[in-house]
Amino acid sequence: MRWKFLALTILSVVSLAWGQEVKDPLQQITQSVEIISGVWFAIGTYFVVAAWVSVISALLPEWVSKKAQVVQTQSARSFLFGLIVVVVLGIFIAVLGEVGKTAPPAGALAVILLLALLTAYSLGWVPVTWVIGRRIASAMSWERADLLVALVGALALHLLVFFPLIGWAVLLYWAIVAVGTWIVRS
């Protein structure tokens, strides 16, 4: 019985391997380069985010701590206001972008609104990384309150990109909260 099972297993593996298309060495190299470049892109973008968090935390420490307190205590309210801002500005940007095809000043206004939205997001992202870093530190019983905590939070949020749907939904939530921190006062 064992020999029959072993023979069937070997036969099925060989038949599957036989049916596989033999890849050209150039295709294998291309696939390897794609994987390596994806890994380096992920590392490089994290370094950009880490540098941004470090610079903003160093330049505006009081503002970051105040907005981190807002994110920590009023994240649902920040999400609601951020969602309203993103939807309203998104509609204005889309409409002005279409009008801007015939009237260039409207297109310029759409670009200015888009840059304002991206600025609000990128500056609001820094307190969000501090809050996520603090939550990770407290879960690990790690007693630190310096920039390293924010960088750990930024890394955790950055790694969520690699988890389709669930990770993207979490990132979208925190991105909208980042925009909403501008409106909610502490």
Tens of pLDDT, residue by residue over 73-130, are 998 999 999 999 999 999 999 999 999 889 889 989 999 999 999 999 999 999 999 9
Burial class (CB in 10 A: 0-12, 13-18, 19+), 139: exposed
pLDDT of residue 118: 93
Residue 22 pLDDT greater than 80, yes or no: no
Tell which wins on pLDDT, 31 or 154: 154
Q: What is the pLDDT of residue 117?
A: 93
Q: Hey, is 74 helix, strand or coil? A: coil
Q: Which two tokens stand for residue 150?
A: 């924010």
CA nearest neighbour of 180 among 88, 98, 115: 88
Asked whether residue 8 is assigned to any structural domain, the reply reads no
The three-state secondary structure class of 111 is helix
What's the structural domain count of the chain? 1
Taking phi over 0 as left and psi of -120 to 50 as alpha, with beta for the rest, 165 belongs to left
**Is the model's pLDDT at 21 over the cut of 80?**
no
CA pair distance 158, 45, nearest whole angstrom: 9
- Would 119 be classed as within a structural domain? yes
Structural domain contains residue 55 = yes
pTM of the model: 0.76
How far, in Å, are 41, 88, 157, 166, 170 from residue 162 at the CA level? Answer: 12, 29, 10, 10, 12
Per the structure, the complete domain to which residue 131 belongs is given by 25-180
Q: Is residue 152 part of a domain?
A: yes
**pLDDT band, residue 16 (cuts 50/70/90):** low
In a domain, 7, yes or no: no
**Residue 94's pLDDT is what?**
94
CB 81 within 8 Å of CB 177: no
Does residue 41 belong to any structural domain of this protein? yes
1 domain-assigned: no
Does 118 fall in a domain? yes
- 132-186 residue pLDDT tens: 998 998 888 887 777 888 888 999 998 888 888 999 999 999 999 999 998 887 6
